[in-house]
Amino acid sequence: MEEDQERGPHDLEADASQASPEAAPYHTQGGPESLPDAKGLLATCISLFAAKAWEAMGLTVNPATKQISRQLDDAQIAIDAASALGDLLRPHASDTERREIEVLLTNLRLNFVEQKSRQP
């Protein structure tokens, strides 16, 4: 068992390429039934990209460094990625979920434009 704890990400990729579809690389201790469905994964990824965008715009603290910094190029990439994932999720989302996605993306874009205008 200790050997499994010392394995790196490349070892996991090799195992995944040889595994059957039932042995997906995303197993957790709770088993595959505890994994979110594709809609849930998309929603989580959108939230992660949104959080990265807020951080890269200098509007939230970087949790790793406990500092605020602005990296507007990163913010633009994160916003674009969240938007692309939102496009994938929208047809499968409820009206409420669609509104939440639109509000989030609109807020990100408006704040990005404001931060970009403050750039020297």
Q: Give the model confidence (pLDDT) of 72-110 as tens digits.
A: 999 999 999 999 999 999 999 999 999 999 999 999 999
Reported as a single tens digit per residue, the pLDDT across 36-53 is 899 999 999 999 999 999
Residue type for position 75: A
Instruction: State what percent of residues in the chain have pLDDT above 70.
Output: 72
| Band of residue 14 on the pLDDT scale cut at 50, 70, 90 | very low
pLDDT at 12: 35
Record the pTM: 0.71
